[in-house]
Amino acid sequence: MNKKRKHPFQNSAGRLTTILLSIAIVTIITIILLVILLNGMANAYVTNGTQKQQEYCNQLADTLSAMKANGVTDEELVEYMVTHVTASGGSWAFVIEDETVLFAKNKTTTDSLTTLKERDAFLENLEEQNGILTSAAFDYKTHSYTVGMITERSQFLNQSKLTTYQVYLILLFAVLLLISIGAITALSGAWTKSEGKLTDIKEELLERNQEFEKLEELQSPTDASAPITIHHSGKSTQYKQYKFKFYLNARHAIYIDGVLGAMHPHTWEITLHVIKMQQDFVQFTKLEKEIEAFIDQFQDKELNEVPPFDMINPTLENCCNYFKEQLSIILNNEGWLFLMMEMSETPSRSYVISMIDEEN
């Protein structure tokens, strides 16, 4: 006798599988829409930033054109760019006269130009940087001038962080809500449809438990049982581990390929992971004051002017290495064991030194 094939929705397992598969498909579609939406937003911000940058290039070209009409020399033109046009690691300007690069980024960079003095080599180098490039041109007498700016895409996108995070949260909440409703619906349906079967299983288990209880009552012990001893193998705490955080507001300019970049500020976060041998009470005030006194010599200053960074490139790594050496002395004198140090100049990036790794 042939058994009638059941439809997947005629049993709880089939219903649960089908519903969960549907939720997975909907979730994938939602994620794809999220990616499309965020890419669209990113392109919109880049387009808007590009338009504003082009407007600025046009204004800058008009200003320089008027200056040349008033008899300003090329040297004075470069000096105007140095003092009035802001340059950073991600956004800067340039001026080209005919086939020669007059100015690029800042005076230090301009003076160091060698193979990029020629227009074609310079523009080819700009294209390799994958930045947003805009330019405007004007003529003066027999010379042609090109004024341009190049900005990394990340500079434009950084302006949209708040809105992007809001979209992330809203869509993430919607996806989680959808998954939760679907999962609850699926599980509720499966549990409801199989309620009778679960009841039967519970009754059967109850009967078996009653049978075991009866068997145990009939059995009599032949001898006294030894007491049960439970052993715990945990180790006692021999020390206390702490994490300290300190903050340093300072500015620095770093050398990249021998060229000094622009001076810019950071709020540095310094995190110390330390150990104190077991005591009844640990006093932190003296240690914190000593560490803060050390950090204060760099507070609200330009690191490039403070020893040893007047001789050492004040990169994140070099700063962390020097601070680690000096703070190790303070911690050792106060009877603390230095485990690890983290130093960050942005919330998303830290440099870590582990003293445990050094000992190994």
Residue 294 tokens read as 């050390």
At residue 117, what is the residue type? K
Q: Which CATH class is domain 9-194?
A: alpha beta
Q: Using the structure block, give the residue that is written with the tokens 């009653």.
A: 210
Selected from 3.10.20.30, 3.30.479.10, 3.40.50.2300, 3.40.50.300, the CATH number assigned to the domain covering 239-359 reads: 3.30.479.10
Least confident of 67-71, 135-139, 225-229, 286-290: 225-229
Q: pLDDT tens for residues 108-144?
A: 555 555 445 677 777 777 767 667 888 899 999 889 9
Q: pLDDT tens for residues 260-284?
A: 899 999 999 999 999 886 665 677 8
150 closest CA partner among 274, 48, 271, 50: 50
Least confident of 91-105, 190-204, 225-239, 278-292: 225-239
Domains 9-194 and 239-359 share a fold: no
At residue 156, what is the residue type? F
- Examine the pLDDT at 2 and tell me if it is beyond 50: no
How many Å is the Cα radius of gyration of the chain?
35
Count of Cβ atoms closer than 10 Å to residue 207 Cβ: 9
3-class secondary structure, 25: helix
- Examine the pLDDT at 303 and tell me if it is beyond 90: yes
Strand partners, 151: 91, 132
Q: How many helices (H) and strands (E) does the chain have?
A: 10, 10
Q: Where are the domains of the chain?
A: 9-194, 239-359
pTM: 0.39
State how far the Cα of 246 lies from the Cα of 248, in Å rounded to an integer: 7
State how far the Cα of 168 lies from the Cα of 37, in Å rounded to an integer: 10
Most distant CA pair in the chain, distance:
120
Q: Please tell me the predicted confidence (pLDDT) of residue 269.
A: 95
